[in-house]
Amino acid sequence: MIESLSNKFLKLGIPVDQKKVTLDLTSISKLDDLFEIFEKHKFKFDVFDAQYPQISDEGAYFSYSFDKVWKMTLGNHGWSGGIYIIDKEVIINQLTNLTILENKIELKIRNVNFFKQFTEKSDSENFEMNGRLKEIHKLV
């Protein structure tokens, strides 16, 4: 599927290959347009968030999937979370902040490990996770 959409990514100025979409400081202004493509074609993607606080290993691997709403699982070396519903604006803010901090990030779009065996979190847990991500990724 990515092959047939590569022209749309190129029109946005976002490099893409068979396995990943690369975001840099010039492409973060196009995230709304990118998410339109992701939502229309029900993309899944993984991204590593080094800013996500943990007691043991630094950061967490986030897997996002779209089907009417954005859902997310996360984990890192021996721990994992449930399935959260995350607001698109929160995800865009997370990716924007990570790109600013790291100058470039990659969204893995092939062989995404979305852990469907997890249970979906409650509305209050979803609200809490959205708030946590907003706090971690405040734009300066």
pLDDT of residue 123: 97
pLDDT of residue 22: 87
pLDDT of residue 54: 78
Q: Is the pTM of this model over 0.75?
A: yes
More confident residue, 66 or 17: 66
% of the chain beyond a pLDDT of 90: 50
Q: What is the mean pLDDT of residues 53-81?
A: 87
Asked if the model's pLDDT at residue 132 lies above 60, the reply is yes
b/e for 33-42, b at 16 or more Cβ within 10 A?
bbbeebeeee
Q: Label residue 69 by pLDDT band (50, 70, 90).
A: very high
More confident residue, 24 or 113: 24
Mean pLDDT, the chain, integer: 86
CA–CA distance from 94 to each of 1, 11, 19, 128 (Å)? Answer: 25, 23, 21, 15
